[in-house]
């Protein structure tokens, strides 16, 4: 199978409209540009519909959420639905506060999400909220549901719980008619019918902020470049691309440490190298480096 996504992105230069948080907005814009796309960050209620209208993909990321941004997210999402462009939804920190969980539910229910992207804790908290009629409960550390924006110990993907998580993600995707990209040691991309596992990545990615937010941007860009809303393999490919560049960045850290042992490179360099990697990534390299396999029950 030939991979042609990086070439497509650089030819089409899709514009991705991101409604995202102020912590990682710079990284998200930079990784979209690095991959060859264009990015516009805009979250004012009065302008998001105009901005969506000139865009080829939309990211809605719930980090650093303010009450006032929710209507902007819904307006942007609805306009994206009208235009048929892909909507990537990231329930950042769902489960970490009732407000977040409710807001995720509210936005999700009013728009047609193309792809939900989150760690296992977030996807489970979103799924639970969507099933509940009443109000979400307050988070408790004991419940193990969340560690803020990081996955809880309990929800961390392991070989043991992988199959259970795949089934969960598939059911979630099927129930809502969306694609789901549940990321962790293994990234699970599914539309309910077809499921791909991407094994790229390194634990170092959890050592920087924004690896998930950057993947939101890349996924929207990949889906936009593929056209027709994109499919679940392309979502897996976005995860594999970031994960592969993460692996490369880690190898580069090791090379740097070998060459300059007195002052070892660390997570600051890792972040730079990750974006470097995306900016240099070719389809040939991605095809060679990606570890994606179709999941068969």
CA–CA distance, 74 with 225 (Å, rounded to integer)? 23
State which of positions 50-69 bind a copy of itself (CB under 8 A): 50-51, 53-55, 63-67
- Three-state secondary-structure class, residue 30: helix
Between 239 and 249, name the residue whose CB sits nearer to a copy of itself. 249
Q: Taking CB under 8 A as the criterion, which residues in 215-234 touch a copy of itself?
A: none
Nearer to a copy of itself, 3 or 48 (CB): 48
- Per CB under 8 A, the list member of 5, 9, 41, 111 interacting with a copy of itself is 41
State the minimum distance, in angstroms, from the CB of residue 104 to a copy of itself: 12
CB of 285 to a copy of itself, least distance (A): 11
Where does the chain show beta strands of DSSP type E? 15-19, 38-41, 57-61, 87-90, 115-119, 179-183, 187-190, 195-198, 292-294
Question: What are 272's two structure tokens?
Answer: 């730079």
Site for a copy of itself in 115-144 (CB under 8 A): 138-141
Nearer to a copy of itself, 143 or 294 (CB): 143
Q: How far is the CB of 45 from a copy of itself (least distance, A)?
A: 8
Closest approach, Cβ 1 to a copy of itself, in A, equals 26
Identify residues 228-287 at the interface with a copy of itself (CB under 8 A): 248-249, 251-252, 255, 260, 262-269, 271-280
Question: What phi, psi does 23 have (nearest 5°)?
Answer: -75, -40
Q: Closer to a copy of itself at the Cβ: 174 or 257? A: 257
CA distance 249 to 34: 15
DSSP class of 152: P
Per CB under 8 A, does 1 bind a copy of itself? no
Sheet holding 15-19, edge to edge: 38-41, 15-19, 57-61, 87-90, 115-119, 179-183, 187-190, 195-198, 292-294
Minimum distance from residue 197 beta carbon to a copy of itself (Å): 26
């Amino acid at each position: 199978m030939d991979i042609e996504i990086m070439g497509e992105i650089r030819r089409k230069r899709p514009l991705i409209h991101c409604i995202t948080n102020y912590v990682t907005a710079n990284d998200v814009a930079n990784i979209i540009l690095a991959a060859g796309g264009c990015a516009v960050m805009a979250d004012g209620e009065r302008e998001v519909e105009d901005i969506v209208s000139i865009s080829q993909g939309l990211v809605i990321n719930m980090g650093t959420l303010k009450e006032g941004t929710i209507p902007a997210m819904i307006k942007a999402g609805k306009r994206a639905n009208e235009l048929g462009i892909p909507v990537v939804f990231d329930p950042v920190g769902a489960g970490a506060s009732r407000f977040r969980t409710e807001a995720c539910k509210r936005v999700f229910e009013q728009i047609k999400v193309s792809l939900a992207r989150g760690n296992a804790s977030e996807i489970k908290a979103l799924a639970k909220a969507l099933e509940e009629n009443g109000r979400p409960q307050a988070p408790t550390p004991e419940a193990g549901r969340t560690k803020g924006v990081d996955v809880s110990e309990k929800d961390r993907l392991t070989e043991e719980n992988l199959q259970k998580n795949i089934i969960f993600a598939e059911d979630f995707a099927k129930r809502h008619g969306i694609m789901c990209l549940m990321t962790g040691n293994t990234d699970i991309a599914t539309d309910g019918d077809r499921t791909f596992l991407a094994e790229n990545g390194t634990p170092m990615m959890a050592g920087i902020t924004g690896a998930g937010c950057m993947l939101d941007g890349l996924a929207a860009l990949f889906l936009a470049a593929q056209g027709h809303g994109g499919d679940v393999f392309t979502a897996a490919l976005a995860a594999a691309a970031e994960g592969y560049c993460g692996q490369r960045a880690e190898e580069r850290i090791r090379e740097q440490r070998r060459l300059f042992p007195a002052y070892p490179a660390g997570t600051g360099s890792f972040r730079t190298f990750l974006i470097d990697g995306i900016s240099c990534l070719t389809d040939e390299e991605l095809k060679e480096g990606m570890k994606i396999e179709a999941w068969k029950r």
